[in-house]
Structure 1
Amino acid sequence: MVERRPWLDLLAHAVLLLGVLVVAFPVYVTFVASTHTAQDIVQAPMPLLPGAHLVDNYLTALMGTREGNGSKAAVGHMMLVSLVMALGIALGKIAISLLSAFAIVYFRFPLRRLCFWAIFVTLMLPVEVRIAPTYKVVADLGMLNSYAGLTIPLIASATATFLFRQFFLSVPDELAEAARIDGAGPMRFFKDVLLPLSATSIAALFVIQFIYGWNQYLWPLLVTTDERMYPVVIGIKRMIAGGDAQNEWNIVMATAILAMLPPALVVIAMQKWFVKGLVDTEK
Structure 2
Amino acid sequence: MVEKRGLGHWMTHAGLILGVLVICFPIWLAFVASTVSQPEIVRPPMPLLPGDRLIENYSKALFSGVNAPVWLMLFNSGVMALGITFGKIVISLLSAFAIVYFRFPGRKLFFWLIFLTLMLPVEVRIVPTYEVIAGLGLLNSYTGLILPLVASATATFLFRQFFLTVPDELAEAARVDGAGPMRFFFDILLPMSRTNIAALFVILFIYGWNQYLWPLLITTDPSMNTVVMGIRQMFPSGDDIADWPVIMATSILAMLPPVMVVILMQNLFVRGLVESDK
Provide TM-score, normalisation by structure 1: 0.94
In 2, Cα distance between the equivalents of 1:241 and 1:198?
A: 47
Aligned partner of 2:190 among 176, 189, 195: 195
SS at match of 1:46: coil
Aligned to 2:217: 222
How many pairs were matched up?
276
Check whether the contact 1:167–1:281 (CA below 8 A) recurs between aligned residues: no
Check whether the contact 1:201–1:280 (CA below 8 A) recurs between aligned residues: no
Over 4 Å off, 4+ runs: none
Aligned to 2:151: 156
Matched, 1:102 2:94: no
Change (3 A) 1:176 1:225: same
Matched, 1:134 2:129: yes
In 2, Cα distance between the equivalents of 1:5 and 1:239?
A: 51
SS at match of 2:97: helix
In 1, Cα distance between the equivalents of 2:126 and 2:49?
A: 44
In 1, Cα distance between the equivalents of 2:32 and 2:124?
A: 40
Matched, 1:240 2:235: yes
Aligned to 1:178: 173
Aligned to 2:162: 167
Aligned to 1:50: 50
Give 5+ residue unaligned stretches, structure 1. Answer: none
In 2, Cα distance between the equivalents of 1:97 and 1:227?
A: 32
Which structure 2 residues correspond to residues 104-123 of structure 1 after superposition, within 5 A? 104-123=99-118
Matched, 1:249 2:238: no
Amino acid in the other structure paired with 1:143: L
SS at match of 1:246: coil
- CA RMSD, Structure 1 to Structure 2 (Å): 1.5
In 2, Cα distance between the equivalents of 1:34 and 1:81?
A: 23
Q: What's the offset of the Cα at 1:46?
A: 1.2
Q: Percent identity?
A: 66
Q: What's the offset of the Cα at 1:135?
A: 1.0
Aligned to 2:74: 79
Amino acid in the other structure paired with 1:21: L
Q: What's the offset of the Cα at 1:245?
A: 4.7
Q: What's the offset of the Cα at 1:246?
A: 1.6
In 2, Cα distance between the equivalents of 1:281 and 1:237?
A: 42
In 1, Cα distance between the equivalents of 2:67 and 2:248?
A: 15
Q: What's the offset of the Cα at 1:14?
A: 1.9
Aligned to 1:213: 208
In 2, Cα distance between the equivalents of 1:256 and 1:243?
A: 22
SS at match of 2:44: coil
Amino acid in the other structure paired with 1:36: V
In 2, Cα distance between the equivalents of 1:59 and 1:93?
A: 34
In 2, Cα distance between the equivalents of 1:227 and 1:177?
A: 55
Give 5+ residue unaligned stretches, structure 2. Answer: none
Aligned to 2:253: 258
In 1, Cα distance between the equivalents of 2:273 and 2:265?
A: 12
Provide TM-score, normalisation by structure 2: 0.96
SS at match of 1:128: coil
